[in-house]
Amino acid sequence: MLGDIQEQAAADIAAHEAMRNVVSLFVFTLVMLSGCSREAVSIEFVNARVRTPLPGQDKSVGYARLHNHTSEAVTLVAAHSEGVRAIEFHTTIYDGDVVRMQRLKDISIPAGGEAVFEPGGAHLMLFGMHADFSEKRDLRVTFTTADGRGYGHAFTVVDVVEFD
């Protein structure tokens, strides 16, 4: 299973090359309703990870579960981090034997629900990683919502992506 995830993470990166030709943007909302009961924290990040860039690469992928503990849907429209030129929301498209990516213009998290960035699915795509991205370093990523709020969280840089 772990091997599959590693291959998938590598495939996520490789497939990005194929998406350069994909012109259309479309909105894909990943919704998994689940029972979140904690209050106080509005958006909770679980298992936030960024994979160490492969040798010679300056891009990589990020994964996390985002729980929305508020009573309103939250739409994430942008993400940024110091030391990274650009972060995009992507989803993975399986088209026969071809795996490719499409950029998403936003990610919606329903009230009381969650959005999942995971290997083989929606993910964060990081371009131009020019800081020190050795393992165990924390990368702080700030997400901007459609109504202009910001949510920041540390993503741990890891060589091996474990996801549950």
- Point out which span in 2-10, 44-52, 88-96, 152-160 binds Cu ion (CB under 5 A): 88-96
Distance CA 89, CA 61 (A): 10
Q: In the chain, what is the greatest distance between 2 CA atoms, to the nearest angstrom?
A: 45
Name the one residue in this structure whose structure tokens are 């498209």.
Answer: 93
Minimum Å gap between C-beta 15 and Cu ion is: 7
**For the chain, give me the number of helices (H) and strands (E)?**
1, 10
Strands 43-51 and 150-158, sheet pairing: parallel
CA dist 163 and 55 (Å) reads 22
> Is the Cβ of residue 73 or residue 158 nearer to Cu ion in the bound state?
158
Q: Contact with Cu ion (CB under 5 A): which of 16, 49, 51, 69?
A: 16
Please identify which residue in 9, 74, 76, 125 interacts with Cu ion, judged by CB under 5 A. 125
Residue type, 162: E
- If one asks whether residue 90 binds Cu ion (CB under 5 A), the answer comes out as yes
Give residues with Cβ within 8 angstroms of 5, minimum separation 6: 119, 161, 162, 163
* Minimum gap (Å) between residue 90 Cβ and Cu ion: 3
Going residue by residue from 93 to 112, which x/- string records binding to Cu ion, judged by CB under 5 A? --------x-----------
Stretch that binds Cu ion, among 50-58, 85-93, 143-151, 153-161 (CB under 5 A): 85-93
Question: Which of 84, 125 has the CB closer to Cu ion?
Answer: 125
Which residues of the chain form contacts with Cu ion (CB under 5 A)?
Answer: 16, 90, 101, 125
